[in-house]
A = this chain, B = another copy of it.
């Protein structure tokens, strides 16, 4: 089973990196992009035999307690069988 964890800056936090990408896209003449936010993406390969509910609880803890800085970031995740 794999878990996909997405960590992004909170909406209220300035995302300088994303803004830089957006500016670069405009300079490079790419069209249609109003805004860019950049975040982190983790793919966790979980041990075989881990039950779905157990995996959900453990990945939730890891995402919130280790992968995310709760002061400025928020996270979401999904499990893939």
Chain A: residues with CB nearer than 8 A to chain B? 6-8, 18, 21, 24-25, 28, 30-47, 50, 54-55, 58, 61-62, 66-67
New contact pairs (17) apart from A21-B67, A33-B45, CB-CB < 8 Å: A6-B41, A8-B41, A18-B43, A21-B66, A31-B47, A32-B58, A33-B58, A34-B46, A35-B44, A36-B44, A38-B42, A39-B41, A39-B42, A39-B43, A40-B40, A40-B41, A41-B41
**Chain B residue with the shortest CB-CB distance to A4:** B6
Nearest Cβ distance between residue A76 and chain B, in whole angstroms?
A: 10
Give the copy number.
2
**Chain B residue with the shortest CB-CB distance to A24:** B66
